[in-house]
Amino acid sequence: MKSGDPKNIAVYPGSFDPVTSGHIDIIQRAKPFFYSLHILVAENPSKSTLFSIDERVEMIKSATSAEKNIIVSSFSGLVVDYARKVNAKAIVRGLRAVSDFDYEFQMATMNRRLAPDIETIFFTTRGKFFYISSSMIKSIAQNGGDISSFVPESIEQKIINKFK
């Protein structure tokens, strides 16, 4: 399927608490392969988040406002159910270190079991974002450190303000 085919749809799910420059890098690199990319802020009941679902959606929207055919939404069920709802053929995930592999492999395998017609596609994280995580960024911001090279400029102040 060509990237220009409107049926070529993918979903990039995550907690995005908050979205980081590493996530944005994955979005920018995945986007050319698809006609549209849904960024899905998924509820993960096992994670307590700093930002509400609406705040996380808004932060991604502001960080991706220059990108075409990016749809940002939230969902509280299974990722594969959302993917089916929007007719997505693929789930995009970013892989950082080897430590991500077990979890990602399990999740991709389970998602394939639940929805054999939807493929998970991995993008390896660019070296400079290899060690970034949302938790680390929150910890740096909470302690007054500089997060400017780890998060999109449009959301930096929002993160800092959260700890004021």
Residues that bind ligand COA (CB under 6 A): 13-17, 20, 22-23, 26, 42, 44, 47, 78-79, 94, 96, 107, 110-111, 125, 129, 132-135
**29 in active site:** no
Question: From CA 130, how far away is CA 35, in angstroms rounded?
Answer: 27
Which lies closer to ligand COA via its Cβ, residue 36 or residue 152? 152
The count of C-alpha atoms lying within 13 angstroms of the C-alpha of 23, restricted to the half-sphere facing its C-beta, is 23
Quick one: 4 or 83, whose CB is closer to ligand COA? 83
DSSP of the chain, one letter per residue? --TTSTT-EEEEEE--TT--HHHHHHHHHHGGGSSEEEEEEE--TTS--SS-HHHHHHHHHHHTTTSTTEEEEEESS-HHHHHHHTT--EEEEEE-SGGGHHHHHHHHHHHHHH-TT-EEEEEEPPGGGTT--HHHHHHHHHTT---TTTS-HHHHHHHHHHT-
Shortest separation between residue 103's beta carbon and ligand COA, angstroms: 7
Q: How far is the CB of 35 from ligand COA (least distance, A)?
A: 22
| Residue 5 or 105 with smaller CB distance to ligand COA | 105
Tell me whether residue 47 is one of the annotated catalytic residues. yes
31 is catalytic: no
Is residue 128 flagged as an active site residue? no
Number of residue whose CB is nearest ligand COA: 22
4 vs 32 by CB, closer to ligand COA: 32
The distance of closest approach from Cβ of residue 112 to ligand COA in the complex, given in angstroms and rounded to an integer, is 10
The catalytic residue positions are: 23, 47, 96, 134
